[in-house]
C-alpha cells in the first residue's frame, strides 16, 4: 500500500518520526508541495491509496486524476483544502485530527495577553541594546504595564480551548465571561455565560476561540468594536477571518482598542499590505499556537491511528460521513 504525505515539513521539521506511519505501507514524504500546481500535486499522489495533507489542496480535479486514492487524512483539524463533499461522492473518507492543541493554544493565548500587558520582548531587546546599563534610574519601562487581577476577560467560543484559557485566566484572578452557542455545565464551573453584546460591553479583554462560519466571519468589526470598552484588548489565535483587519487597525490607531495580540491573520502568510502591520500596539506572531513539539506529536499519533482504523475497515475522525 502506497502512502504519500504532501507537505510534512510544518508537522515534522525533523524533531519527530514518520516511522510508525512507514510501518503501514510504502511511505513517501514531501516536505512541501506547490499549492498552486495541480499537475505536480497529481504527479506526487500518483497511484497512492492513502494521502496526507496539511495545506496542499486536493480538488475535484485531483481526486478524478488519482483514481487509486481511497483515503485522505489531514495533518490538522481544518479540512477546507479538500473537496470533501466530492470525496464523499467518490466514497473516499476524509479524516482530520480533532483535538491535539487544547493545552498549547490556550497557553499561547495567555502568552499573547501577557506580552500585551508587559512587552517582555521589547524590554528584553532594550536591555540587550544597552539601554538599562545607560539608565540613570534603577529601572525603566517604555510602555504602560497592566495588571490582570480583577479585570474581566470575555471569551467567545467556550469549547475545550476556550475553557482551558478560562481556567488559566481565573487562576490569575480574572473574572471570566463566556459566549457560546452551546453552554454546558463544565463551562458554567469556570465562567458566567452572557450574551455577545453583554460580553462586548463588560470585557477588558476579548479573546476569540470560536470556529469560523459564514455567520461570524469579520464579527469583530467597527459595529462590534463600538460596543466595547475604550482600551479593550483583543486576543485572536483562532481564525484570522473572524476580524475585519482594517476596522481593527483603525480602532488601534484611534485608541478605541488598547492593544491586540494576534497569531492569525485573514490571509496567510501575511500580506505586506496588511493594515495591522502598521497599527499601534499590535503584536503579531506567525500562526504558531499549535506548534509545540508535544502538540505536533499528538497530531502524528492521531494521523497514524486514522490510518490504522482505515486499514482495519472502520475509519475514525471522518469529517465527510
pLDDT tens for residues 19-70? 999 999 999 999 999 999 999 999 999 999 999 999 999 999 999 999 999 9
Predicted TM-score (pTM) of the model is: 0.94
Q: Is 268 a catalytic residue?
A: yes
Phi/psi for 5 (5° steps) reads: -105, 115
* Vertex 50 angle, CA 47 and 51, to 5°: 90
DSSP at 26:
E
Domain segments of the chain as ranges: 2-100+293-311, 102-284
The string of pLDDT tens digits covering residues 267-294 is 999 999 999 999 999 999 999 999 999 9
Burial zone of 168 (CB within 10 Å; 0-12 exposed, 13-18 middle, 19+ buried) = middle
Pick the catalytic residue from 188, 268, 271, 294: 268
Pick the catalytic residue from 20, 115, 287, 305: 287
Phi/psi for 248 (5° steps) reads: -65, -40
Neighbours of 181 (CB within 10 A): 11
User: 225: part of which helix (H) or strand (E)?
Assistant: helix 222-226
Q: Could you tell me which CATH number the domain at 2-100+293-311 has?
A: 3.40.50.720
Q: Is 239 a catalytic residue?
A: yes
Cell of 184: 454546558
Fold of 102-284: Rossmann fold (3.40.50)
SS3 of residue 290 by DSSP: coil
Pick the catalytic residue from 239, 245, 296, 298: 239
* Spatial distance between the Cα atoms of 217 and 212, rounded to a whole number of angstroms: 6
Amino acid at each position: 500500500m502506497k502512502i504519500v504525505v504532501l507537505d510534512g515539513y510544518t508537522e515534522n521539521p525533523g524533531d519527530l518520526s514518520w516511522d510508525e506511519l512507514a510501518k503501514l505501507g510504502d511511505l513517501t514524504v514531501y516536505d512541501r508541495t506547490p499549492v498552486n500546481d495541480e499537475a505536480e500535486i497529481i504527479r506526487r499522489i500518483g497511484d497512492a491509496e492513502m494521502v496526507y495533507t496539511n495545506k496542499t489542496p486536493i480538488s475535484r480535479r485531483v481526486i478524478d486524476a488519482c483514481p487509486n486514492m481511497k483515503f485522505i487524512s489531514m495533518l490538522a483539524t481544518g479540512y477546507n483544502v479538500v473537496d470533501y463533499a466530492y470525496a464523499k461522492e467518490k466514497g473516499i473518507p476524509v479524516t482530520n485530527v480533532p483535538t491535539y492543541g487544547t493545552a498549547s493554544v490556550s497557553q499561547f493565548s495567555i502568552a499573547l495577553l501577557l506580552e500585551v500587558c508587559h512587552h517582555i520582548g521589547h524590554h528584553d531587546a532594550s536591555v540587550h541594546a544597552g539601554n538599562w546599563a545607560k539608565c540613570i534610574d534603577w529601572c525603566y519601562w517604555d510602555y504602560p504595564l497592566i495588571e490582570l487581577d480583577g479585570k474581566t476577560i470575555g471569551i467567545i467560543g467556550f469549547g475545550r480551548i476556550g475553557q482551558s484559557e478560562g481556567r488559566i485566566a481565573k487562576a490569575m484572578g480574572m473574572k471570566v465571561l463566556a459566549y457560546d452557542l452551546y453552554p454546558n455545565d463544565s463551562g458554567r464551573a469556570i465562567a458566567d455565560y452572557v450574551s455577545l453584546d453583554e460580553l462586548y460591553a463588560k470585557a477588558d479583554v476579548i479573546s476569540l476561540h470560536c470556529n469560523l462560519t459564514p455567520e461570524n466571519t469579520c464579527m469583530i468589526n467597527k459595529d462590534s468594536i463600538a460596543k466595547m470598552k475604550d482600551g479593550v484588548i483583543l486576543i485572536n489565535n483562532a481564525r484570522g477571518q473572524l476580524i475585519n483587519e482594517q476596522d481593527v487597525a483603525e480602532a488601534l490607531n484611534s485608541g478605541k482598542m488598547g492593544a491586540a495580540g494576534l497569531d492569525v491573520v485573514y490571509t496567510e502568510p501575511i500580506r505586506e499590505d496588511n493594515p495591522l502591520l502598521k497599527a499601534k500596539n499590535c503584536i503579531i506572531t506567525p500562526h504558531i499556537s499549535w506548534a509545540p513539539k508535544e502538540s505536533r506529536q499528538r497530531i502524528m499519533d492521531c494521523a497514524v491511528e486514522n490510518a490504522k482504523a482505515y486499514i482495519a475497515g472502520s475509519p475514525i475522525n471522518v469529517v465527510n460521513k
